Every structure is written in structure tokens, then in C-alpha cells.
């Protein structure tokens, strides 16, 4: 596992604990990064296999 995946997984777990939901949009907002929530949401969608990738613009 590379460093980017390890960092993402850490942020993902922290966000799950904060928002206590599996809504990608809410998780993305809870990520503590300088990135926009839409960018974080796409990152989550790429990480979670088998989930439908909806374009929520």
C-alpha cells in the first residue's frame, strides 16, 4: 500500500467517526484537507469499489 492510500484511509476513518454516516458527500466535507469537497468525494468514490459513481454537480 502506498503513502497516498495510507493517508486517505486515515482521513476516511476519521471522517466516518466524525459524521457517523456513509454518505460520500458528508464524508468529503469532513476530510481535513485543503481540497474542495467535490474533489474529496471523487477520491472516496475511486477508493470504494462497486459503488455507483454519480455525477453530483
- The string of pLDDT tens digits covering residues 3-39 is 988 988 888 888 888 888 778 888 888 888 888 888 9
- Is there a domain that residue 52 lies in? no
Looking at 1-57, list the stretches that DSSP marks H as alpha helix, in order from N- to C-terminal side: 3-19, 24-30, 37-47
Q: Structural domain of residue 20, as residue ranges?
A: 3-47
Distance, in Å, from the CA atom of 28 to the CA atom of 2, rounded to the nearest integer, reads 21
For position 57, what pLDDT does the model report? 43
- Is there a domain that residue 17 lies in? yes
**How many separate domains does the chain show?**
1
For position 35, what pLDDT does the model report? 87
- The string of pLDDT tens digits covering residues 47-57 is 877 766 555 44
- Is there a domain that residue 24 lies in? yes
Please name which of 43, 11, 50, 5 lies closest in space to residue 24, comparing C-alpha atoms: 43
- Is there a domain that residue 7 lies in? yes
Cβ pair 27, 15 in contact under 8 A: yes
Please name which of 34, 32, 33, 28 lies closest in space to residue 46, comparing C-alpha atoms: 28
Amino acid at each position: 500500500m502506498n503513502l497516498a492510500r495510507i493517508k486517505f484511509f486515515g482521513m476516511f476513518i476519521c471522517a466516518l467517526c466524525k459524521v457517523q454516516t456513509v454518505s460520500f458527500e458528508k464524508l468529503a466535507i469532513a476530510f481535513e484537507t485543503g481540497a474542495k469537497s467535490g474533489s474529496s468525494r471523487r477520491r472516496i468514490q475511486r477508493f470504494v469499489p462497486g459503488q455507483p459513481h454519480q455525477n453530483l454537480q
